[in-house]
Structure formats: C-alpha cells, structure tokens
Chain A
C-alpha cells in the first residue's frame, strides 16, 4: 500500500504532530501511515481524508 498523506499534509501546511492532534492519534501513527506500514481503520482513514480535504481513495493507493 502506498499513501499520499505526506503530499496532502504538506499542501495543507500541517506538521505531523498537528495532523495527529486533529485526528486524535499519536504522531508515530501518522509517521507509519505516511510510510504505508500501517493499515488504519476505516474511521481513521475517513478522519484523515476529512482533515486533508480529499477522498480516501486518493490517500491510500493499493497496487493490484
């Protein structure tokens, strides 16, 4: 899984800690989300996409 969270976060001018605070997770969780090592719950994916003003499928890219 690849993610574009970092790109959208930087476009919004947010730090990892700010994004983490907005979606109520730890900064480390944002780090792992950006690396694509952690598969989040649907709720967290929804919260991140809402904060970054984009759709879930634009943030999480699954290669087939």
Chain B
C-alpha cells in the first residue's frame, strides 16, 4: 500500500517538474526577440514533432506529450501576446484585402458548383453529397487563403 502511494506521489511530483521545465522552455522561446510567425512555426513544429514521436513510439509517451505541451503553450502564448500588441492588426488595407479575397473566393466556389452541376447532369463522374460538400468546403477556404496571401503580398487592391 505504502509502495503504491509513494509511487503515485513520485509520479505526480515528476509530472509537475516536467511541466515546470515545459513552461520554462516555452517562456525562453516566447521571450526571444523574433517575429510572432517564427514563434508560431516553432510551436507548431514542436507539436508535429511531438505527435510524430508519440505515434512512432521513439520516446517515452510522457516526454512526447511534454514536447506537444511545450508547442501548444508557445502557440497559445505567442498568439495572445500578438493580440495584445499596441499596433493595429486589421487596418483599412487588411479589411479591403479580406473583402476582396472573400468575393473572389465566392466567385470560384460558384464556378465550382456550376461545374459540379454539369458533371452531375452529364454523369461524367459519380458524385456523392459528402464528396461534393468536401470539394466546395476545401476550394472555398483554399481560394480565400490563397487570394488573401496574394493580395497581402502585392498590396494591389
């Protein structure tokens, strides 16, 4: 009885220690003098790396999860800090870019729906409801993100 409870106690303490190490490493990265996007990339890389290590069982699962935790803390903290920065995130240019990207994305989606209707009418491909909806969802989001990226890059509205 004593052995089991002391084992659980030690496990609890070691987990707390691991989380403290996590937080200290995360803090080191968050306070680095690099752009938020680089911090985000580092955080996401740690999450993906941790998940790969977890799925391939290269490391102990506790350590892999600790890496995922560290990445998650970095992503959330970097996002929160970016939102608190005094400078404006959504100025008139970014609003115009979002509006134009949305309208272009809608146009692309309408074209896709028209194509899907024709494909269905002439039975060129056997369409399912799930497949059609997935295609529309993916194309709409991808085209919006693509156009927004392009307008942000060129600045021409």
**Number of A residues whose C-beta is below 8 Å from B?**
19
Asked if A32 contacts B87 (CB within 8 A), the reply is no
Looking at chain B's contact residues, the main secondary structure is loop
Taken together as a complex, chains A and B put the C-alpha atoms of A35 and B93 apart, in Å, by 14
Is B92 a contact of A40 with CB atoms below 8 Å? yes
Least CB separation from B90: chain A residue: A26
Contact of A38 with B91 in the complex, beta carbons under 8 Å: no
Q: Which of A6-14, A16-24, A51-59 contacts B (4 or more CB under 8 A)?
A: A16-24
A4 vs B86: C-alpha distance when bound (angstroms):
27
Question: Does B157 have its Cβ within 8 Å of any Cβ on chain A?
Answer: yes
Binary CB contact string for chain B from 123 to 157 against chain A (1 if under 8 A, 0 otherwise): 00000000000000000000000000000101111
Question: Is B92 within 8 A of A21, CB to CB?
Answer: no
Closest to A26 in B: B91
Determine which of A26, A37, A40 lies in contact with B87 in the assembled complex, contact meaning CB atoms within 8 Å: A26
Question: CB distance B156 to A29 under 8 Å?
Answer: no
Residues of chain B having any CB pair with chain A under 8 Å? 86-89, 91-94, 152, 154-157
For the complex of A and B, the 9 pairs showing the least CB-CB separation, nearest first, are A32-B155, A25-B91, A29-B93, A37-B155, A24-B88, A38-B155, A21-B87, A26-B91, A37-B156
